[in-house]
Every structure is written in structure tokens, then in C-alpha cells.
């Protein structure tokens, strides 16, 4: 590999974790919007999600682990990238709890390495997939949190996101022309080429679609939700925004109308599956309880969601009922070992 980056058109982006649930939708959206995509992923959950884009001239894939710094450096040095969009991570509280050392190495150490190399190479933009889990448990459960609210992570997953956000946005001396942005996503739902059935809306819909009794813990706790296509659209919006609108900025990603308690999600489900069986197991303790305000991304970047929770439920339900997903219990749809 030559030491000189290919000085190609200024539209090449590196997507880490591009084979994942959100990443596989994003990769397609970027290509449709005339970006060239280099996708870096270790295929922890397989690579079927990329088959459809495999032959596309605007797509290049590197099977690489982000903890392999030498390989990462080579990929970063190869092109004159416009942006790094950093999604690769051990994703979710259970997965990080199960493999904490791997989570620290991946979500913190390798992410910091990626950031430092990007700054050194003067890659203009760095977009980081963070999470609304950073807010932890709201002090006032009747209120709402916005981007200025104190962060109170209560899981290793969120603590590592908070730590990296801080490295990204509060670097010693802001680098001129460097444009880092942290996106705090609501919990994602909806259909993707790398489906996940370990996310609340997807999991609840799957259980009822398969005719099982759905057991719900902590039905009174709030969380915001965002469709996976809106997850990708938000990243594209930030990539296309003027630097002064997004540099050193944090945006919650979702819509204020899409805050739900688990009980409200069940109510939506029962509208579409009237004979669904649900059992609530009341639990006073839930580590996470937050309602989030999403006005900032709406007002400053003009971002609006395209799909609501009921629409996402309908998509998953019809897809399972039509038999498109042969075995929704397959391990590949989960980030931790399933016990069923
Ligand atoms: N899904 C959500 O509800 C949600 C909410 C908020 C934020 N996010 C963030 O969005 C990003 C993507 O999440 P997702 O739901 O698509 O998860 P995912 O688990 O489907 O995707 C993660 C991808 O990263 C890859 N990966 C993991 N470790 C790697 C490593 N060491 N080297 C290279 N690749 C590696 C995996 O193979 C996978 O393709 C994550 O950063 C996540 O924290 C997701």
C-alpha cells in the first residue's frame, strides 16, 4: 500500500461498523447520495447485510478489527477522507456487561486511537454514534432532558460513550477546521439488513408476532425511540450540514413525540395484534428512565423523523408474518447469547 493517500474526489467517507444494524442502512443511504463508502467492520455478527452493496463501484469493504491499530492506520491513510463515521462498538448494556474488557478496548481505547489518527491526518469530520442512555435515570421523572442535562451513565456501555464523547468534544485546544459531532440516538427500531431482535420495539413485536406471551418488566419507565432509517438520515443530515452548525456539537436524535413507556408500546402493539397476550411484571427498579427533548436537531438542522413507533411495528409484524425472516430466534439477530 502506498504511503500517499489517493487524492480522489472529496466525498469519501469511512464508516466503521457498517455491517451492523444501523450501519448497513447508512451505507446504502450514503451511496444513494453520491458518497463513496469505505466500510470497516470485523463482521462480529456476519456480513450478509452487505451482499446487496458488494458490487457497487462506490463501495469498498475492509474486514478489520478497530483494535488492530496498524490496519486501521493503513485504511485511514489510504484516502483523503471527508469524514469518519464511527459506529463500530460492542453495542448495548448486556453485551458490554458480558465482555467488559473487550468493550473498554473497543468502545474507548480503539475509538480514541481512531480519533487521534483522524485528527493527525486532518480528516475534516468525525461523527460519533452515542446514545441517549448517557442520561441515565431522570431526577424528575415528569420532566424531559435535553443536550444540556447532566450525564449520569449507569452502565459500562453508556459510561464508555460518555467518556469518548468527552475526548471528542473537549480536546485540549480545539483543532481548527476539525468538525467532530456526537449524536445521542434514541433506542432504535425497525427493519434492517442486519436485523436485531434484542431492541425493545423489535423484540416485543417479534414475541407477539410469533404468538408467544410477552413478558414486560418495568412497564412504567420512559425511553425515546427512533426508526433505523431515521438513524441513518440523521447521520446524513449532519454530514451534509455546514461545519459551523455541527462542529463540537451534540445532538439528540429522535423526535419528542416518540417517547414511550413500555406500557405505551404494548398498547400500540395490541392495536395491531388485538389477541396478543401480555403479562406485566411490576418492577420498581429500572436503571434507565428518561424522556428526551429532540428540538435541537429539528430546529437547527431541520431534521424530522420519517417513521413512528406504530409504523415500525407494522413493518416488523408484516415481515415476520409473511415469512421473510425464517427464524427470528436465530442467534445472528442478537448481540448476546440467547437462552431460548
Ligand atoms: N441500536 C440502537 O438502539 C443504538 C442506540 C444508540 C446508539 N447506537 C450506536 O450505534 C452504533 C451501531 O449500533 P447498531 O445497533 O448498529 O449495533 P450492531 O451491533 O448491529 O453494529 C455494530 C457493528 O460494529 C462491528 N464491530 C464491533 N466491534 C468491532 C471491532 N472491534 N472492529 C470492527 N467492527 C466492529 C460489528 O461487527 C457490527 O457490524 C453503535 O455505536 C451503537 O452504540 C445504537
At 110 the three-state DSSP class reads helix
The reply to whether 204 and 124 lie within a common domain is no
Distance CA 164, CA 272 (A): 40
The reply to whether 85 and 50 lie within a common domain is yes
277 CA distance to ligand 1 centroid (A)?
Answer: 32
The reply to whether 154 and 133 lie within a common domain is yes
**Grid cell 485504511 — which residue?**
75
Asked if residue 1 has pLDDT above 50, the reply is no
Q: Which atom of ligand 1 is nearest to the CA of 128?
A: 41
335 lies in a domain? no
CB-based burial label for 308 (10 Å; 0-12, 13-18, 19+): middle
The reply to whether 203 and 77 lie within a common domain is no
**Average pLDDT value for residue range 113-119:** 96
Asked if residue 169 has pLDDT above 80, the reply is yes
90 lies in a domain? yes
In contact, 107 and 161? CB cutoff 8 Å: yes
The reply to whether 163 and 195 lie within a common domain is no
The reply to whether 195 and 153 lie within a common domain is no
In contact, 180 and 169? CB cutoff 8 Å: yes
**Which of 77-91, 104-118, 170-184, 323-337 has the lowest average pLDDT?**
170-184
15 CA distance to ligand 1 centroid (A)?
Answer: 11
271 CA distance to ligand 1 centroid (A)?
Answer: 31
Per-residue confidence band for 172, with pLDDT thresholds at 50, 70 and 90: low
Give the domain extent around 261: 190-224+257-291+307-327
106 lies in a domain? yes
**Average pLDDT value for residue range 34-49:** 97
- Which residue puts its alpha carbon closest to atom 42 of ligand 1? 91
Distance CA 167, CA 11 (A): 26
Question: What are the pocket residues of ligand 1 if the criterion is a CB atom closer than 6 Å to any ligand atom?
Answer: 17, 19-23, 41-45, 65-67, 87-91, 106, 129, 131, 185, 187-188, 194, 196, 199, 335
Question: What's the CATH number where 217 sits?
Answer: 3.90.25.10
Distances 309 to 30, 205, 276, 323 between C-alpha atoms, Å: 24, 11, 17, 21
The reply to whether 78 and 92 lie within a common domain is yes
Per-residue confidence band for 174, with pLDDT thresholds at 50, 70 and 90: low
Question: What percentage of the chain carries pLDDT values higher than 70?
Answer: 94
Best residue among 18, 19, 22 to mutate for probing ligand 1, ranked by most atoms within 8 Å of CB: 22
How many structural domains comprise the chain? 2
Closest CA to 85 of 149, 38, 148: 38
Q: Which atom of ligand 1 is nearest to the CA of 22?
A: 16
The reply to whether 165 and 209 lie within a common domain is no
Distance CA 22, CA 189 (A): 10
The reply to whether 206 and 58 lie within a common domain is no
**Average pLDDT value for residue range 192-212:** 97
Asked if residue 9 has pLDDT above 70, the reply is no
Question: What's the CATH number where 150 sits?
Answer: 3.40.50.720
The reply to whether 101 and 208 lie within a common domain is no
Mean pLDDT for the chain?
Answer: 94
The reply to whether 217 and 234 lie within a common domain is no
Amino acid at each position: 500500500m502506498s504511503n500517499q493517500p489517493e487524492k480522489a474526489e472529496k466525498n469519501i467517507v469511512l464508516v466503521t461498523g457498517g455491517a451492523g444494524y444501523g450501519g448497513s442502512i447508512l451505507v446504502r443511504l450514503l451511496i444513494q447520495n453520491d458518497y463513496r463508502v469505505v466500510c470497516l467492520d470485523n463482521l462480529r455478527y456476519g456480513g450478509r447485510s452487505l451482499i446487496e452493496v458488494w458490487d457497487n463501484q462506490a463501495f469498498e469493504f475492509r474486514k478489520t478489527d478497530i483494535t488492530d491499530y496498524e490496519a486501521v492506520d493503513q485504511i485511514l491513510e489510504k484516502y483523503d477522507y471527508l469524514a469518519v463515521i464511527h459506529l463500530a462498538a460492542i453495542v448495548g448494556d448486556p453485551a458490554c456487561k458480558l465482555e467488559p474488557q473487550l468493550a473498554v478496548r473497543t468502545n474507548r481505547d480503539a475509538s480514541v486511537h481512531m480519533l487521534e489518527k483522524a485528527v493527525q491526518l486532518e480528516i475534516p469530520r468525525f461523527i460519533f454514534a452515542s446514545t441517549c442512555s448517557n442520561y441515565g435515570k431522570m431526577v424528575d421523572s415528569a420532566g424531559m432532558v435535553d443536550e444540556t442535562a447532566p450525564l449520569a451513565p449507569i452502565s459500562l456501555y453508556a459510561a464508555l460513550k460518555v467518556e469518548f464523547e468527552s475526548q471528542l468534544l473537549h480536546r485540549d485546544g480545539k483543532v481548527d477546521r476539525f468538525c467532530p459531532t456526537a449524536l445521542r440516538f434514541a433506542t432504535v427500531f425497525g427493519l434492517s439488513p442486519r436485523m436485531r431482535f434484542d431492541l425493545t420495539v423489535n423484540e416485543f413485536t417479534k414475541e407477539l408476532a410469533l404468538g408467544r406471551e410477552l413478558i414486560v418488566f418495568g412497564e412504567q419507565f420512559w425511553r425515546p425511540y427512533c426508526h433505523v432509517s431515521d438513524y441513518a438520515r440523521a447521520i446524513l443530515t449532519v454530514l451534509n450540514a455546514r461545519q459551523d452548525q455541527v462542529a463540537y456539537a451534540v445532538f439528540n436524535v429522535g423526535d419528542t413525540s416518540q417517547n414511550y413507556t413500555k406500557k405505551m408500546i404494548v398498547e400500540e402493539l395490541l392495536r395491531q395484534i388485538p389477541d396478543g397476550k401480555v403479562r406485566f411484571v411490576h418492577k420498581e427498579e429500572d436503571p434507565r428512565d428518561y424522556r428526551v427533548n429532540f428540538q435541537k436537531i429539528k430546529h437547527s438542522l431541520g431534521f424530522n423523523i420519517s417513521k413512528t413507533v406504530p409504523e415500525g411495528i407494522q413493518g416488523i409484524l408484516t415481515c415476520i408474518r409473511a415469512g421473510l425472516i425464517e427464524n427470528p430466534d436465530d442467534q445472528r439477530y442478537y448481540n448476546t447469547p440467547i437462552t431460548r
